[in-house]
Amino acid sequence: MDINISAKLFNKLVEKLGKETAIEVIELVNEVESQLKEKVVEETKKRKIELRDELRKELATKEDILLVRQEIETVKQEIETVRQELKGDIEALRNEVKGDIEALRQEIRGEIKVLKIMIFFLFALVILTNKESLEIVLRVFGLLK
């Protein structure tokens, strides 16, 4: 018998109920107290488990942090790969544009030469077909007086 009550209360129970009944009441009270303690312990354990589970859901674990770091590293590598690809594409476009510009320059130089030759022949044709202009040219060069 686990008696956790005061002697004064026990004496009062014995006086009112008798010794055996008082002992039974005290045992019953102790049993109820013991059951309540067990329930409190059990409920406390439940609450702790629930809180732990909620915290695990809400808070980042070391594994979560490691996964995020790995994802960040993967994204960094992908960005670097794209950066290198873009650099290569830009360099290829730059070389292509330089080649196109050089080709256009060569084409323009060729056309300028053709235009110079055409102007020379046109000028010569005008001078040779026009008697007065021929005389002017000959006088300029001192071949005609």
Q: 145 falls in which pLDDT band (50, 70, 90)?
A: low
* DSSP one-letter string for 58-108: HSPPHHHHHHHHHHHHHHHHHHHHHHHHHHHHHHHHHHHHHHHHHHHHHHH
Residue 138: how many other CB atoms lie within 10 Å = 13
Burial (Cβ within 10 Å: 0-12, 13-18, ≥19) of residue 30: middle
pLDDT at residue 21 tops 60? yes
DSSP letter at 5? Answer: S
Terminal CA-CA length for the chain = 159
What pLDDT is stored for residue 118 in this prediction?
94
pLDDT, tens only, 88-128 = 999 999 999 999 999 999 999 999 999 999 999 988 888 77
At a CB cut-off of 8 Å and minimum separation 6, what does 3 contact? 10, 26, 30
Mean pLDDT, residues 11-27 = 85
Mean pLDDT, residues 130-145 = 77
What pLDDT is stored for residue 35 in this prediction?
93
Contact assessment for residue 141 and residue 135, using Cβ atoms and an 8 Å cutoff: no
pLDDT, tens only, 32-86 = 888 999 999 999 999 999 988 888 777 777 888 889 999 999 999 999 999 999 9
Q: 144 falls in which pLDDT band (50, 70, 90)?
A: low
Q: 131 falls in which pLDDT band (50, 70, 90)?
A: confident
pTM over 0.85: no
Q: Which amino acid is at 71?
A: E
Cα separations (Å) of 133 from 12, 32, 123, 130, 137?
155, 139, 10, 6, 6
What pLDDT is stored for residue 79 in this prediction?
97
pLDDT, tens only, 31-45 = 888 899 999 999 999
